[in-house]
Amino acid sequence: MTSTEGSFPATRLRRARAASWRRRLVRETVLTADDLVLPLIIVEGTKVRQPVQTLPGVTRLSIDQAVETAKEACDLGIPALALFPVTEESLKDEQGREAHNPNNLMCRTVAAIKKAVPDIGTICDVALDPYTTHGHDGLFDGDDVANDATVEILVKQALTLAEAGCDMVAPSDMMDGRIGAIRNALEKRGFVNTMIMSYAVKYASAFYGPFRDAVGSKGNLGPKGKHTYQMDVGNVDEALREAALDIAEGADIVMVKPGMPYLDVIAAVKAHVHVPVFAYQVSGEYAMLAMAGNNGAFDKAAAFKESLVAFKRAGAAGIFTYAALDVARALAGKG
Ligand code: PBG
């Protein structure tokens, strides 16, 4: 300790902890609803609210229900939604063609939400996994996902979403060069204000399991899984290169994913770049907290809040979490 930090008893750190007002006054990191993005999983139909077994408390919603939830989220001060589709099996193929059908479920969802709740932002995933029979994020060439051919389709998907009114496209596929290609195409077509949030630092993680259940994208990933395009869990230098490249190509925001097991990566990326860094409390993280909380292991609401403060303390400017509604309600004193 340096001398400026003093020594006991002149310095007693418990003094500033002795009452709620003192703790609030000196708190460094404060979580607000502004920090949260609510992911929604959308299905065909009307009045559908389908619970997801591995994500307790999360329901797949038909468009009309998503609009209701969007209103509630907006009223609670949540700035944006992240939208994911459940694609009917009959619409899937090897190339994920449904991804750029202008009348697909995502496009209709975005249009309905923007019409009913114009003040909430819409963030749409760009990747082919919900649309391909094999469940991979891109097209195959031989026995691996082909980078450049996939990028061409992702560009089409991003333009289709922008056309439908999507405010921010979020490529989560981890192909090389896709941010530049998408930014270029958006500029050419006049979508100069469509933002890009790049899932720049996305690890090949076991924690996506419940999400793949929820959107039905498990497919048959094969023995290599997504390891030839998503990042190796052991790497941090590579995360900095991924983030820097995507920013150079035009990303407005970069994402680190998963979140809680990767707080060191969030902090490292944050120290390295000058764009907002977001993080995703992914499905497996949510499931762990929700299931343990539901089983009495701890106070669920307190655990969620603590986990999200940790994201922010590590450097996240915003956090995707399936708990966004509950947390925002609690922050508003409506818990
Ligand atoms: C699709 C995508 C995934 C997630 C978000 N977008 C799954 C994957 O890459 O397999 C995971 C989200 C979560 O687990 O909550 N590319």
CATH number of the domain bearing residue 319 = 3.20.20.70
Establish if 113 belongs to a structural domain: yes
CA of 127 to the centre of ligand 1 (A): 9
CA of 214 to the centre of ligand 1 (A): 10
Establish if 53 belongs to a structural domain: yes
**Counting atoms of ligand 1 from 1, which one is nearest the CA of 173?**
16
Establish if 13 belongs to a structural domain: no
Establish if 11 belongs to a structural domain: no
Establish if 8 belongs to a structural domain: no
Establish if 193 belongs to a structural domain: yes
List the chain pLDDT tens, one digit each, 335 residues. 556 778 999 999 999 999 999 999 999 999 999 999 999 999 999 999 999 999 999 999 999 999 999 999 999 999 999 999 999 999 999 999 999 999 999 999 999 999 999 999 999 999 999 999 999 999 999 999 999 999 999 999 999 999 999 999 999 999 999 999 999 999 999 999 999 999 999 999 999 999 999 998 887 888 889 999 999 999 999 999 999 999 999 999 999 999 999 999 999 999 999 999 999 999 999 999 999 999 999 999 999 999 999 999 999 999 999 999 999 999 999 87
CA of 257 to the centre of ligand 1 (A): 9
Structural domains counted in the chain = 1
| Domain, as residue range, for 138 | 35-331
Q: What is the pTM of this model?
A: 0.97
Establish if 22 belongs to a structural domain: no
Reduce the secondary structure of the chain to three states and give it as a string: CCHHHCCCCCCCHHHHHCCHHHHHHHCCCCCCHHHEEEEEEECCCCCCEEECCCCCCCEEECHHHHHHHHHHHHHCCCCEEEEEECCCHHHCECCCHHHHCCCCHHHHHHHHHHHHCCCCEEEEEECCCCCECCCCCCCEECCEECHHHHHHHHHHHHHHHHHHCCCEEEECCCCCCHHHHHHHHHHHCCCCCCEEEEEEEEECCHHHHHHHHHHCCCCCCCCCCCCCCCECCCCCHHHHHHHHHHHHCCCCEEEEECCHHHHHHHHHHHHHCCCCEEEEECHHHHHHHHHHHHCCCCCHHHHHHHHHHHHHHHCCCEEEECCHHHHHHHHCCCC
Closest residue by CA, ligand 1 atom 14: 208
Pocket test for ligand 1, best of 201, 215, 282, 288 (most atoms within 8 A of CB): 282
Establish if 152 belongs to a structural domain: yes
